[in-house]
Amino acid sequence: MITEEQIKAAPESDYMNSEQLEFFKQLLFDLHDSTTARIEETKRLMASPPDLNDENDRASWEEQNSISLRILDREQKLLPKIKQSLERIRLGEYGYCLESGEPIGVPRLIARPTAEYCADVKALQETKEKFYRD
């Protein structure tokens, strides 16, 4: 299978060829497995609170639990995105911006394999979100 270094060095004409798609498919499967494992581990740790008699220890544990819940929420939201990315590979749509149709780019996909938008479109979306939020 092609390596990350090879994929980064490949010419633009190789973009999302069968080797690259196989690379990203495996990357997404690995991401799914590691995300699922982190979710299960977090749930396991949260399900068995330690015996805490000291108020400071309890407050610290509750704060850590709150952080764990936020992380767990993010991880759980990632799983459907991984499945959507795998479906886009199956359909031959992976690696292309959902809005513009332009290539998302190998470096961006390596950093974020579930990326749905090219950097320009994503930046515009974030600017709009910030404008409407303020």
Q: Is the dihedral of CA 20, 25, 29, 34 positive or negative?
A: positive
Which range is most confident: 44-48, 70-74, 103-107, 127-131? 103-107
**The pLDDT of residue 134:** 64
Domain ranges for the chain, please list them.
4-133
- Fold classification of 4-133 is Four Helix Bundle (Hemerythrin (Met), subunit A) (1.20.120)
Taking all residues of the chain, what is their mean pLDDT, rounded to a whole number? 91
Mean local confidence (pLDDT), 20-31: 98
